Structure 1
Amino acid sequence: MSQLEIILGIKYIYYPLLTAVGVAVNVAAIVVLSRGKCALSKCITRYLVAMAAADLLVIIVDVLLNKILASHFPLSFLHNPIVCSLRRTLLRSATDNSVWSTVLFTFDRFVAICCPVLKVHYCTEKTATLVLWTVGVLGCLNNIPWYFTFESEYTIDGASWGCQTKSSFYTSPAWSAFAWFDVILTPCVPFFLILLLNAITVRHILIASRVRKGLRGGGAGADENDPEMESRRKSIILLLSISGTFILLWMLHVLLFLYSRITNDHESTGNEDPLFIAQQTGAMLLLLSCCTNTFIYVATQAKFREELKNGTQYLFKICLPVTVLRL
């Protein structure tokens, strides 16, 4: 069996499964978090809901529309050049919002833990809403130029179909500058900001923990009996879990882009080319990042687990009688 056949077999199973799981977990996260019963502040909840909504949009646009429907229905309206360019542009906007909502959440936790004076004014539901909407709109506007980087891919009976990147995109200095600006903006700057903010936040917590231990006697159970440090510990676990998973799953995609720009090698030479395999793997890992946050909430947040369990039991009680009646 060739490498292409193996990759196609994996993608044939992976993307439908990713769609089903991604839609389910992100919808569940939005519903559970929106109820406001997870012992999280309204500010944190706003960021987590925004992250789940952005991830859901990526799953729908990229995986469902691009990877599944567009691949299986080559002559559908999805391959109209205008629609094709629109969905690819929408995909980039959704991806940017998904990435930057993670950055905004990281910055909010940095302010809440390290900047007590600024926290009073910044870490509020109103500010979170304003920041998320501002960054979301700017992200959409920033990606409008991508619509003009595509041209029709082939012609059938005089009609244009599909869309592909214009050859001038790789040779034009203007487009090259735009591409560099885009990848620096997302995800290079987010990578740097997340790593920097997390490092400062963790350092601040470790220093504060040692100081409070000294003031409280430094006993073995000092942190367990300190509500403030326990709250910070839970906050940092959630923060590092979300941002760390994001960095790991995006790493290969970023390295491949840098490799293609440095070597000017934009396309793989064939299906057996290691670059082709790396590109396919990077795309699958990147999209997997849109499904992980809900599992992180389940693993780290007891209240979230409880609310999710209650919601699942409620749905089961409703659906089971209906199923029995139909049978």
Structure 2
Amino acid sequence: MLRIGTIGTGMIVSEFINACRENKEVEITCLYSRSLDKAKIFSLKNNLQVRMVDNFEEMLDYIDIIYIASPNGLHYQQAKYFLQQQKHVLLEKPAAFCQSEVIDLKNIALMNNVILMEAFKPIHLPEFQILKKTVDEIKPFLANFNWNKYSSRMKDVLNDEYPSVFDEILGRGSLYDALIYPVELAGALFGPIKEVKAMSHKLKNGVDINNIVLLRHQNNIFTSIVCSKATNGKSESEILSYDYTITFNNLTSIDNLVLHRREEDDEQQLTATSTNPNRMTYELNVFLDLINSNNFTEMERLLDLTINAIGALEAIDRNQNQQGEFIDEIK
């Protein structure tokens, strides 16, 4: 049985722990938090009886895998440490803030013969497999992705307080915490991104809160994206070809997936035959399969999706910070 340690005490870690409980191949053995008191509260809340530590060294003898769900800005250094200690790493999105760091992590994983995977949930869902197959069949040329979700931290932001997700070092706001979803999903569906155009609204500390993005993929498909952590959106996402339109809700779970024909009043609901309510079980299963089969080829393929997405986010950041061209006022 593979032993798993966790970093973080947020809701996503609770969801991951529940996914582990459904899998007979793993057990949670260790929990890290900078505060042992916080770790004890989290352990009681999640009915865990595990070793609780406030430093990484104490974890090493008790784990084979580390699941990292710390603030975004800590991902690279923490993943690097555990990979160098020859531990498998499941790393929450975004894997890092720059492409070169993800490439470095990939090379360290290969050198140490351990598996590294970004926990990007959408591409491991049964619904994604149906969506990808349908996308390949209808040959789209344009997609509109909407990911607008009111942050639970907005009350702090409105008081000019910036918790980790909106911190310029630890989180970087909507750019890395939210935009990663539509950007990486677009790359997985339509192929590598080669060009970006972008604009953003920023908070007083210079961190993004709303983003408008246009992507051009290498195959010349366009993806337009509206992304916000300041509001709850209602619009569906859609993928368009000459004869068909695919619509769906919620980029993280791909709900209500429907295929529409252009010339007929015809809709086909596309659903997976069986799904697990805990959507993290799918990424966990993929990760464990990579470990058990030593499938470094598939590991590299998945990491290349991450690398392309992080590179696109870097390009978006540069593009939206450039001085725009202004049109003269019409007299």
Higher share in strand: 2
* Superposition TM-score, scaled by structure 2 size: 0.24
Q: Which has the larger radius of gyration?
A: 1
Higher relative contact order (CA 8 A, sep 6+): 1
